[in-house]
């Protein structure tokens, strides 16, 4: 069974800092990997989808990388802002579902 | 804006009661998946519906059941509610079938509290 791990569980940084969130998965036979943002008590907002054939995907200040062979993905956030404070989740697809990590709770301090 | 809508947003039920949660999928999507998210945890897969048929199920008991309608909207029904059913229930919409690399879009969730 696929297992997804996210480290660290929580991260606190001053505004303006660049940061990296990590995601690892045990089964490298994946079609894609998706990063989500979740505000407290809210649903998931899709940030980036990386196909298995890609190594990187960028959207604004966000850059996600995927290394299937090592079972890892990173989400890089440049010039962090207080509005980036949220929980970030990564997910990989199974046969008909997504396997999620437990997320990294990010706090950006003004 | 994802276009996936869930109702209601919040709900309080008594142990033993039954509840129905609703989800409208994004236009053009034929697949709806339901997830349960306990506080501080990642979402856990309940089941998926593709073109009105159940297309996979997670490790949830039979008192969790669902439906998908011809317009691809969906319902999640939970019978004999237990205190541990208190969670955020998330609906995800995607384009299924032969499209394997598609993005999943989530609704805002329904917060269920069982007392």
Cβ <8 Å between B33 and A49 = no
- Residues of chain B contacting residue A34, judged by C-beta atoms under 8 Å apart: 103-104
Alpha helices, H only, A5-53: none
Q: Find the CB nearest A49 among B56, B103, B107.
A: B103
Per-residue pLDDT of A31-52, as tens digits, reads: 899 999 999 999 999 999 999 8
Interface test with A, best of B37, B42, B56, B101 (most A CBs within 10 A): B42
CB spacing of A43 vs B6 below 8 angstroms? yes
Rg (CA), chain B: 13
Q: Residues A20-39: what's their mean pLDDT?
A: 95
A90 touches B at CB < 8 Å: no
- Check CB contact under 8 Å for A93 and B106: no
Q: Do A102 and B40 touch (CB under 8 A)?
A: yes
Of A44, A51, A99, the CB nearest to B106: A44
Task: Return per-residue pLDDT of chain B as tens, 115 residues.
Answer: 458 999 999 999 999 999 999 999 988 889 999 999 999 999 999 999 998 999 999 999 999 999 999 999 999 999 999 999 999 999 999 887 655 557 889 999 999 999 9
Is residue A64 a contact partner of residue A57, using CB atoms and an 8 Å limit?
A: yes
With a pLDDT cut of 70, the percent of chain A lying above it is 100
Q: Which residues of A93-110 are buried (b: 16+ CB within 10 A; e: fewer)?
A: beebbbbbbbbbbbebee
Contact A46 B103 (CB under 8 A): yes
Determine the pLDDT at residue B1: 47
DSSP category for residue B85: G
Among B41, B100, B107, select the one facing A43 at the smallest CB separation. Answer: B107
The secondary structure of residue A42, as a DSSP letter, is: S
**pLDDT reported for residue B96:** 73
pLDDT at B75 (0 to 100): 98
A16/B35 Cα distance (integer angstroms): 34
CB pair distance less than 8 Å for B105 and A46: yes
C-alpha–C-alpha distance, residues B114 and B42, integer Å: 20
- Residue A91 clears pLDDT 50, i.e. is over it: yes
User: Could you tell me how far CA B40 lies from the centroid of its own chain?
Assistant: 19
- Of residues A71 and B103, more confidence is placed in A71
A89 touches chain B (CB under 8 A): yes
**At A74, is the pLDDT very low, low, confident or very high (cuts 50, 70, 90)?**
very high
| DSSP letter assigned to residue A21 | E
For B108, the closest of A43, A52, A96 (CB atoms) is A43
CB-based burial, B52-78: b 16+ in 10 Å, e otherwise: eeebebbebeeebbbebeeebbbbbeb
Distance (Å) of CA B66 to CA A75, A81, A97, B33, B50: 34, 40, 16, 10, 12
Look over chain A and give the mean of its residue pLDDT values, rounded to a whole number.
Answer: 95
């Amino acid at each position: 069974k696929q297992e997804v791990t996210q480290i660290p569980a929580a991260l606190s940084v001053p505004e303006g800092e660049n940061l990296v969130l990590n995601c690892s998965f045990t089964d490298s036979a994946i079609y894609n990997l998706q990063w989500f943002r979740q505000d407290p008590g809210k649903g998931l907002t899709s940030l980036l989808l990386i196909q298995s054939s890609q190594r990187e995907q960028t959207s604004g200040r966000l850059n996600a990388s995927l290394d299937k062979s090592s079972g890892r993905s990173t989400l890089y956030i440049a010039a962090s802002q207080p509005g980036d404070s949220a929980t970030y989740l990564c997910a990989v697809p199974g046969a008909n579902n997504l396997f999620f990590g437990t997320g990294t709770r990010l706090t950006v301090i003004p | 804006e994802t276009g996936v809508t869930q109702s209601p947003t919040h709900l309080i039920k008594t142990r033993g009661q039954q509840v129905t949660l609703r989800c409208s999928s994004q236009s053009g999507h034929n697949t709806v998946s339901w997830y349960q998210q306990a506080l501080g945890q990642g979402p856990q897969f309940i089941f998926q519906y593709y073109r009105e048929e159940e297309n996979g199920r997670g490790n949830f008991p039979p008192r969790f059941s669902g439906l998908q309608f011809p317009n691809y909207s969906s319902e999640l029904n939970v019978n004999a509610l237990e205190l541990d059913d208190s969670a955020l229930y998330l609906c995800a919409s995607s384009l299924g079938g032969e499209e394997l690399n598609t993005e999943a879009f989530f609704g805002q969730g329904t917060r269920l509290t069982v007392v």
